[in-house]
Structure 1
Amino acid sequence: MFRSIFMHTDALSDILKWLRLKAEVYLHTDFQGCWAVDTSGSRSVPFHLVHSGRSWLHLQDEAPRLLSAGDLVIFPHDAQHYLSSESHCPNAELVDQTMAQLGAPAQGEVTGLTCGHFMFENKADWPLLDSLPAVIVLELSDTSRLGNTRALLQLLIAELEEQGAGASLAVDYLAHVLFIHILRSQLEKGLPSGLLKALFSPQVGKALTLIHADIAKPWTLASLASAVGMSRAVFAAEFKSLTGKTAIAYLSEWRMLTAAELLQTTDLTLFDISERCGYQSEAAFRKAFKHVTGKTPGEVRRAAD
């Protein structure tokens, strides 16, 4: 018997598309002897995979942590950090020396590192990562869990090592998938609240998917609650508890963020944009846009020129 699976849009995919998630692996090498790297301060989300050997992780005001082969470390808020061969915290001079001598022969234990970062091209504030900790360490050497993530990283490493045709693009796309696996891993561990937890909540997540699938629909609190099989009061309370805002406020903000994107990247008329975003008149749209963004549609469009 054949099974058919039809892909449907979901809120997380929509948000990542809108934020224009980019991923890049920029270093895949072996370090030997006394070394240190610091990739913080890039205003992105750095990550490092220890694919062989071991490394010490140094964070401000925390004890050093030993990373082993198979450990993946991610910094959702670009926390200041060092990875080093040394258990004591290195300095900037050692970092500069390491990069200047990259690839030169050395003595001592070998550590293989793969380094990269995730970034959002769309710099608009959206609280997707707010609930994540300063540092995430996934111990992929544990074969009892995270099997798909481990297989994904093995494929990524193979692409880096073999350098076949199209490898550069393949690695960046695999890194995209890795980012989603990282988000899923944090949901499995449990997050207290936040947009990320809401996206994976069975009912609130479904409501978010409905909003993102059709922002032009005249959604109300009652219609959203009914669509996900909850009473209006319970749905309203759970939505605000998870996201920190009401369902209608979320809908309005997402409509205006979508509108701002269309103003900046298309030549659509204001009437067309207002219709796409669920408004029947330009006047109502202008008022709502100014209320949510603090700017007029014209100001946003002119700033993009």
Structure 2
Amino acid sequence: MDVLSDVLAVMRTGRARSAQVTWRGSWAQEFAPVPGSAGFHVMVRGSCLLLRDGAEPLPLGPGDIVFRAHGDGHTLADSLEARPVTPACDPATMGALPRFAVAGDASAEDVTVTLCGAYELAPELVHPLVRGLPDLVRVPAGRHPRLAAVVDHLAAELIEPGPGSDALVPALLDTMFVHLLRTCLAGEHPTGWAAALTDPVIGAALDAMHREPGRDWTVAGLAAEGGLSRAPFARRFAGLLGQPPMTYLTWWRMTVAAGQLRATDRTLGDIADRVGYGSEFAFATAFKRRFGTPPGRYRRSGGVTP
């Protein structure tokens, strides 16, 4: 897989959740902070304000999309005077909401339709690519046609589900997540991970690490993947990503190992071999250094770290 697909496969956990809600009259919805999650809002119809502590109200209009990469708390409201009229939402409670619900004064003429969704992420496996994103990214209406097409399809399935919707909705949510991350990484002057993924030298090295995390890599070997000599490659990698290539490789190996422990029944020896460790002891030592607990205990706890 390419690097972004690999990152998503490791850090995602559980099922994405979504709901479309029609608001009438004065309304407000509080979304509680949920570390280890990411979420979005789409203004399907009408307008509202997104309110955050310490920030100016953000006006949203039809077609606007907001992506929150870190699960920070916030409120959607039709005005500054509105007070939340429903319990706080988080990924755990969102699944209990009907796919299409009506809230507020049913006799009111003003109608606002919002589509919200949340993705559960394993907190200790969240990739620096995601950790480095802004806490809020607004995608204006019409800016990204592919993303808008996925939103339209998702909204239609939520309003009028048909045979296969239970399979289609999660797939659409996953597709939307990829497009949202692509949008966040795009820009005229990319830096950090956005720049690294498109850099021909560093991108090739990252692809190689992700393709074969268990290979006996050296800095020179990774530099050769990008067609550059060792010293300038190491400087270029650290300049873009803020860490040496072997530091990132070790981090990624332990992240892959943790994902394997959470999601498979492979033996510790097999996992150790897959991530480049010649013995279970060496692997367990490196794993405990990263997560603060031995790999066997991590597996038994379901991936919960001390």
Normalised-by-shorter TM-score class: 0.7 to 0.9
- Report which stretch shifted further, 46-55 or 197-206: 197-206
| Residues 242, 213 of structure 1: alpha-carbon distance in 2 compared, 3 angstrom cutoff | same
Q: Which amino acid aligns with 1:54?
A: S
CA contact (8 A) 1:45 1:119 kept: yes
CA contact (8 A) 1:22 1:121 kept: no
CA contact (8 A) 1:130 1:194 kept: no
The Cα shift of 1:138 comes to 0.7
The Cα shift of 1:96 comes to 5.1
SS of 1:50's equivalent in the other structure is strand
- After superposition, give the CA deviation of every residue in 1:199-232 in whole Å (9 maximum; x if it has no partner): 3433322211211111121111001111111222
- Residue of 191, 201, 209 corresponding to 2:207: 209
| Residues 77, 11 of structure 1: alpha-carbon distance in 2 compared, 3 angstrom cutoff | same
Task: State yes or no: 1:110 paired with 2:150.
Answer: no
Q: Distance in 1 between matches of 2:300 and 2:21?
A: 45
CA contact (8 A) 1:23 1:175 kept: no
Q: Distance in 1 between matches of 2:243 and 2:131?
A: 14
- RMSD over equivalenced CA pairs, Å: 2.8
The Cα shift of 1:111 comes to 0.8
Q: Distance in 2 between matches of 1:301 and 1:162?
A: 40
| Residues 96, 294 of structure 1: alpha-carbon distance in 2 compared, 3 angstrom cutoff | closer
- Residue of 59, 63, 66 corresponding to 2:59: 66
Q: Which amino acid aligns with 1:106?
A: S
Q: Distance in 2 between matches of 1:283 and 1:61?
A: 48
Match of 2:92 in 1: none
- Residue of 181, 196, 199 corresponding to 1:198: 196
Match of 2:74 in 1: 81
| Residues 302, 83 of structure 1: alpha-carbon distance in 2 compared, 3 angstrom cutoff | closer
The Cα shift of 1:198 comes to 2.8
CA contact (8 A) 1:22 1:176 kept: no
Task: State yes or no: 1:15 paired with 2:7.
Answer: yes
Superposition map of 1:119-198 within 5 A: 119-121=120-122, 123-140=124-141, 142=142, 145-189=143-187, 193-195=191-193, 197-198=195-196
The Cα shift of 1:261 comes to 3.4
The Cα shift of 1:193 comes to 4.0
Divergent runs of 4+, >6 A: none
SS of 2:22's equivalent in the other structure is strand
TM-score calculated relative to the size of structure 2: 0.83
The Cα shift of 1:57 comes to 1.8
Match of 2:258 in 1: 260
CA contact (8 A) 2:22 2:102 kept: no
CA contact (8 A) 1:20 1:122 kept: no
- Report which stretch shifted further, 254-263 or 157-166: 254-263
Percent identical pairs in the alignment equals: 34
CA contact (8 A) 1:32 1:108 kept: yes
| Residues 106, 61 of structure 1: alpha-carbon distance in 2 compared, 3 angstrom cutoff | farther
Q: Distance in 1 between matches of 2:265 and 2:205?
A: 31
Match of 1:3 in 2: none
| Residues 113, 23 of structure 1: alpha-carbon distance in 2 compared, 3 angstrom cutoff | farther
CA contact (8 A) 1:74 1:136 kept: yes
| Residues 38, 201 of structure 1: alpha-carbon distance in 2 compared, 3 angstrom cutoff | farther
Match of 1:237 in 2: 235
Structure 2: 5+ residue runs without aligned partners?
89-96
CA contact (8 A) 1:131 1:193 kept: no
Q: Distance in 1 between matches of 2:46 and 2:282?
A: 61
Match of 2:222 in 1: 224
Match of 1:246 in 2: 244
Q: Distance in 1 between matches of 2:173 and 2:65?
A: 12
Q: Which amino acid aligns with 1:102?
A: A
The Cα shift of 1:108 comes to 3.3
| Residues 259, 131 of structure 1: alpha-carbon distance in 2 compared, 3 angstrom cutoff | closer
SS of 2:131's equivalent in the other structure is coil
Q: Which amino acid aligns with 1:26?
A: S
TM-score calculated relative to the size of structure 1: 0.84
Q: Which amino acid aligns with 2:16?
A: E
| Residues 265, 280 of structure 1: alpha-carbon distance in 2 compared, 3 angstrom cutoff | same
Task: State yes or no: 1:30 paired with 2:1.
Answer: no
Structure 1: 5+ residue runs without aligned partners?
1-8
- Residue of 38, 41, 44 corresponding to 1:45: 38
Match of 2:94 in 1: none
SS of 1:28's equivalent in the other structure is strand
Q: How many residues align?
A: 291
